[in-house]
Amino acid sequence: MTGISAVIITRNEAHNIERCIVSLKGLVDEVIVVDAESTDATRTIAEQAGAQVIIRAWTDYTDQKNFANAKAKSPYILSMDADEAVSPVLRASLLTAISAGLKGAYQVDRLTNYCGTWVRHGGWYPDPKVRLFAKADACWEGTHVHEELRLKNGTPITALKGDLLHYSYPTVQSHADRIERYSELHARKLLATGKRVGPFKRWFAPVVKFIQGYVFRLGFLDGKAGWSIATLSARAVSLKYTKLERLREH
């Protein structure tokens, strides 16, 4: 017994979920998958891999994750995305932490695979995330986009060696599609806060985003992947502000 429950929220992750669950073998006492009514084989694959699957209609990221955490039986939670997997070095670090006795929360570096390339520049790495924490000392907060983990005040955070492997973008089109979806959410979040953006910023901010990622954060060292990331990241900024103005007009 490790004292850890792995928690994953899903929707149509048949292409990812098995890899994620298999990487957790020997690290957790249970794997809980809260599935938002997938129309593919996600649930079947997850159950065959040994996970407990709970079907729940989608609400939002924060609510789904808090619901999933509440179902965990162990005192510690390892929060995973379906497109992630534990690397061998991270596995060894987790086993060491478990052997020593878990205390506080634990942070991991996330390494993204972009169309077959491991991206280490452009601001995408190390992308630190707190993913292992005591169930009683944490909850997810936030609306619209980018839910945040809120830890109990004073919780010590230990950085673990090794990477959480993130198989996020199998194709450039999958990146473009996600930007299209998320730019709408970002725009609505800005609208809710009363944000206003003038025409100069709508033009200039995407340019700055490209230069920042591709040049100053050395995205060019990632080759073709770095160029695609910088270009699409600039487009994401442009779409966000364009959609914000459209929302204001209505």
Six token digits for residue 55: 């079907």
In tens, the pLDDT along 35-69 reads 999 999 999 999 999 999 999 999 999 999 999 99
Residue 138 and residue 22 share a domain: yes
Domain containing residue 122: CATH number? 3.90.550.10
Residue 76 and residue 146 share a domain: yes
Report whether pLDDT(208) > 90: yes
pTM score of the predicted model: 0.92
| Overall number of domains in the chain | 2
Domain containing 70 equals: 4-169
Residue 150 and residue 176 share a domain: no
Q: What angle in degrees, to the nearest 10, is found between the helix axes of 172-192 and 223-249?
A: 30
Report the alpha-carbon angle 100-101-102, nearest 5. 125
Residue 163 and residue 177 share a domain: no
Residue 189 and residue 71 share a domain: no
How many CA atoms, within 13 angstroms, populate the side-chain half-sphere of residue 250? 6
Q: pLDDT category, 106, cuts 50, 70, 90? A: very high
Residue 206 and residue 151 share a domain: no
At which residue do the structure tokens 């990477």 appear?
Answer: 163
How many CA atoms, within 13 angstroms, populate the side-chain half-sphere of residue 148? 4
Residue 51 and residue 145 share a domain: yes
Which one of 134, 169, 204 terminates a domain?
169
